[in-house]
Amino acid sequence: MDDWLESLGDDPLAVLEGWLDEAREAGLHEPEAAALATATLDGSPSVRIVLVRGIDELGLRFYTNYESRKGAELGLNPVAALVFHWQPPLERQVRAEGRVERLAEEDSLAYFRGRPRASRLGAWASPQSRPLTDREQLDRAYREAEERFGDDDIPLPPHWGGYRLVPHAMELWQGRRNRLHDRARFDRADLLWSRVRLAP
């Protein structure tokens, strides 16, 4: 019997939630940070770090400007990959690959309302991924947002919200001595996961 593989259970998303909790308990900086890879229609890739802000039985949630580069690429080619990597003492990695869907507006609004006020203003101020003349242009847009909303509630921008990556495949990796790491791949069909051990 493969004890490590068996210990993972049948749901890699549940394992990911547990590993995230352990990363937080270990005091790792920004354990929710993951590399998000998207691609254009012709397959040209791009990657950046995002913060994963929720996991459910369907997948992983993150939030951004829909008009950013990643938002534009996801609009045309709604598939992506996410990678978490946690250094010692955990030495773990999780990969998730699948289609990406927009969250309902009420889900985005609920998350947006919980963000710090300055971050909510920043979502209005930043024309994410577009060229700026200089820093002053961005600072001026932020001041204008402050003046526009004053002490009022800051509404959800129409160009900002959440996505869910719905993985069809996930890999879990546990670092071991001599680079003989433990590595498992999970594949999902009809909401059921199958698993296999992979060579490191």
- Could you tell me how many residues make up the chain? 200
CB 97 within 8 A of CB 81: yes
- Is 179 labeled as catalytic in the residue annotation? yes
* From 179, 183, 185, 188, active-site residue: 179
User: Phi/psi at 103 (nearest 5 deg)?
Assistant: -75, 160
* CA dist., res. 2 & res. 198, Å (int): 12
Of 87, 92, 107, 99, the closest CA to residue 156 belongs to 107
Alpha-helical (H) ranges within the chain are: 3-7, 12-25, 69-76, 105-113, 117-125, 135-149
Q: How far apart are CA 193 and CA 12, in angstroms?
A: 8
> What are the catalytic residues?
179
